[in-house]
């Protein structure tokens, strides 16, 4: 079983020829309300990829809360640990221009009220094989969650997606088993622009690291000396939103099933390649049979 302790945001996406400048009003072409947030995305990706998943986090008592819960539940994610707190849910206000450029305002809302896991939530993490973390919750809460498995024999492996990029406190790094940044986050964390150099620097911080490289695939390294490069599956990408979250969710599934690093990378790359061929975040994540078919084909 996989626990995800993370954010749920409603993505409010407006499609427009050109984003408005300050003081300007423009008419958009289309508007969509899409459940997202890195935590919820990773939970849905892992559930679709075949794992039992529990989501731990919070939504507001506004109109978006039930929609966010329903999106998780529809994917088969256990939402018993999804709290409702007074005030607005997290939202990401996204403007997508015709050329594909986007600008995003994330307002954390209920995500900002999440505190370190206690009681039943801590028990859920303690029972898990993997714990997926990202950085869209308060850092103190993320650090507290990362330490729960350490008190348990054969505790969950802790997998961190360090996004949005932020300085990582030592108390967090000491509890992380595997870090999965994209190349920009890896550069921000290490000060090394070359992803291979960044990978080496990350291994000075945590035992295992994956640096995702978009259409160029992903690098893996471990302190035991293993180094791998998995090429991306060549596909025509229509929307790369949440490719990284799909990758992280699927990677966790493969690892909890006992896959070694090479097989886990291949599985995650296949899942992410399927997701970039479809629009949206949670809407684009593949089911297990699709991933298996791509890997067999």
Binding residues for ligand ADP, rule: CB under 6 A, are 182, 212-215, 217-218, 232-233, 235, 237, 240, 243-244, 247, 269, 272-273, 276
Give least dist CB 39 to ligand ADP, A: 14
Residue 245 is among the residues annotated as catalytic for this protein: yes
Q: Residue 259 is encoded by which pair of tokens?
A: 């896959």
Give least dist CB 36 to ligand ADP, A: 12
Give least dist CB 229 to ligand ADP, A: 10
What are the residues whose beta carbons fall under 8 Å from the beta carbon of 209, sequence distance 6 or more? 178, 179, 180, 181, 199, 202, 203, 220, 221, 222
The smaller minimum CB distance to ligand ADP, of residues 92 and 218, is found at 218
Q: Is 167 exposed, middle or buried (0-12, 13-18, 19+ CB in 10 A)?
A: exposed
The smaller minimum CB distance to ligand ADP, of residues 138 and 214, is found at 214
Give least dist CB 110 to ligand ADP, A: 23
State the catalytic residue, choosing from 121, 177, 245, 292.
Answer: 245
Q: Which residue has the tokens 């423009």?
A: 26
The smaller minimum CB distance to ligand ADP, of residues 78 and 208, is found at 208
Q: Is 21 exposed, middle or buried (0-12, 13-18, 19+ CB in 10 A)?
A: exposed
What are the residues whose beta carbons fall under 8 Å from the beta carbon of 154, sequence distance 6 or more? none
Around Cβ 184, how many Cβ atoms within 10 Å? 16
The smaller minimum CB distance to ligand ADP, of residues 59 and 254, is found at 254
Q: Residue 224 is encoded by which pair of tokens?
A: 């035991």
What are the residues whose beta carbons fall under 8 Å from the beta carbon of 189, sequence distance 6 or more? 162, 165, 168, 181, 198, 201, 202, 205
Determine contact, residues 152/60, Cβ cutoff 8 Å: no
Determine contact, residues 291/268, Cβ cutoff 8 Å: no
Give least dist CB 70 to ligand ADP, A: 24
Intra-chain end-to-end CA distance of the chain, in Å:
28
Give CA separation, 252 vs 6, 152, 177, in Å.
Answer: 15, 19, 12
- Residue whose beta carbon is closest to ligand ADP: 244
**If you count them, how many residues does the chain have?**
297
Give least dist CB 97 to ligand ADP, A: 18
The smaller minimum CB distance to ligand ADP, of residues 122 and 232, is found at 232
What are the residues whose beta carbons fall under 8 Å from the beta carbon of 141, sequence distance 6 or more? 5, 114, 115, 116, 117
Determine contact, residues 126/153, Cβ cutoff 8 Å: no
The smaller minimum CB distance to ligand ADP, of residues 133 and 148, is found at 133
| Active site positions, annotated | 245
């Amino acid at each position: 079983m996989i626990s995800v302790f993370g954010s749920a945001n409603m993505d409010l996406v407006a499609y427009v020829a050109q984003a408005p400048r300050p003081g300007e009003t423009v008419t958009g072409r289309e508007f969509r309300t899409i459940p997202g947030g890195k935590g919820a995305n990773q939970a849905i990706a892992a559930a679709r990829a075949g794992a039992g998943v529990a989501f731990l986090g919070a939504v507001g008592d506004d109109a978006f809360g039930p929609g966010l819960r329903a999106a998780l539940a529809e994917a088969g994610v256990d939402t018993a640990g999804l709290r409702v707190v007074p005030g607005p849910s997290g939202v990401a206000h996204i403007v997508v221009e015709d050329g594909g450029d986007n600008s995003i305002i994330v307002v954390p809302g209920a995500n900002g009220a999440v505190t370190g896991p206690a009681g039943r939530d801590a028990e859920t993490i303690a029972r898990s094989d993997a714990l997926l973390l990202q950085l869209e919750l308060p850092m103190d809460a993320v650090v507290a969650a990362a330490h729960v498995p350490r008190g348990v024999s054969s505790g969950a492996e802790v997998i961190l997606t360090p996004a949005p990029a932020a300085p990582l406190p030592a108390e967090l790094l000491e509890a992380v088993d595997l870090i999965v940044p994209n190349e920009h986050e890896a550069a921000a964390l290490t000060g090394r622009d070359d992803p291979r150099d960044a990978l080496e620097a990350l291994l000075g911080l945590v035992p295992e690291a994956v640096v995702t490289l978009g259409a160029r695939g992903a690098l893996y390294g471990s302190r035991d000396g293993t180094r791998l490069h998995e090429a991306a599956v060549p596909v025509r990408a229509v929307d790369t939103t949440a490719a990284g979250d799909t990758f992280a969710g699927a990677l966790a599934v493969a690892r909890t099933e006992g896959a070694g690093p090479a097989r886990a990378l291949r599985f995650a790359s296949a899942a992410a390649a399927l997701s970039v061929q479809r629009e949206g975040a949670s809407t684009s994540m593949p089911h297990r049979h699709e991933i298996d078919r791509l890997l067999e084909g």
